Structure 1
Amino acid sequence: LSDENHETLKVYGVWGKKKFMGREYMGISRTTFVIDENGIIERVYEKVSVKSHAQDILSDLKH
């Protein structure tokens, strides 16, 4: 997905101010949306851990 103007990011509420080492900047909040075949958001994972996130999703989808 290419979103150069951050339009989709803004609609999903994942584009905004962030802070790192005292510096403030605009960036993406690491978030995953599970969307069903009808376009309905079934689950939202916020502030995900890169190390375990894929396994977390697979585990949740199996249940």
Structure 2
Amino acid sequence: MGKIYDGIHRLSFVVGTDGKISHVLNKFKTKDHHEVVLATLA
């Protein structure tokens, strides 16, 4: 039919105390999201 499907895009942003985005997380599975965030903060 000519349509291109790219799937679902999941993004999370880690915002620093200064209000600026410090990390962009985009390669994770939903069930592992908390582990990815904690690893980024450590």
What's the TM-score once normalised by structure 1's chain length? Answer: 0.48
Structure 1 vs Structure 2: percent identity of aligned residues? 32
Matched, 1:48 2:34: no
Q: In proportion to residue count, which structure has more strand?
A: 1
- Name the structure where helix makes up a greater proportion of residues: 2
Equivalenced residue count is 38
Q: Which runs of 5+ in 2 are unaligned?
A: none
Check if 1:30 corresponds to 2:10: yes
Larger RCO, structures 1/2 (Cα 8 Å, 6+ apart): 2
The runs of 4+ residues in structure 1 deviating greater than 2 Å are: none
